[in-house]
Amino acid sequence: DTAQYKVSYYIDPSWFETSNTEEYLIDVSPDTVISDLNFGISPVQTKSDLAIDLTTSTHVCSMTSNLWLNIKNDGTETVNGVNVELWVNSASSVQSASSNGGVSGNYVSWTIDGDFFPHVYSNQDTTLLVEIMTPGVGAMGSILVDSARVSTVQQNILELQYSNNFSRADGEVMCSY
């Protein structure tokens, strides 16, 4: 059986085609090997778009819990240097922070030096871990709110979307008897 297929792509408005090829018409028969199908694309304008996602483990009375901060660059431009900040609920206490996080009370900060490549090209992301001590039985049922922010060290860089530069995690303190 032989068939003809049209292979094309649908491009995001932030990108444009550079190869002068928007589609291929291909005749396919059994054992057909298809090669050299190339679509060239490039960003319309290079932009950074740092994003942060804060997640937490379960908060059990008087036990340690984990906070994970996942940072990535959803833009098209490499960012040179990234600042990450975390504010931990005042009822908890910070026990440790990965990657040499600077701890000052319930505030933790990091500066990630060097190039932070766009995720679309490199799949580069970074996950930071903070271990906290959950408050005791007196806080049972309380909602702990932790928040985080990511920003660039690099000056004069266009940030595509600021709404994903902040994240928050809410967790209820649970106890068992």
Residue pLDDT, tens place only, 118-176: 887 778 899 999 999 999 999 999 999 999 999 988 877 778 889 999 999 999 999 98
CB 7 within 8 A of CB 24: yes
Beta bridge partners of 72: 51, 125
The mean-pLDDT minimum among 20-34, 54-68, 127-141, 160-174 falls in 20-34
pLDDT of residue 37: 80
45 pLDDT tier (thresholds 50, 70, 90): low
d(CA 112, CA 85): 11
Report the distance separating Cα 138 and Cα 126, nearest Å. Answer: 35
Residue type, 111: T
pTM metric for this prediction: 0.75
Distance CA 177, CA 161 (A): 46
Q: Within 13 A of 175's CA, how many CA atoms are on the CB side?
A: 13
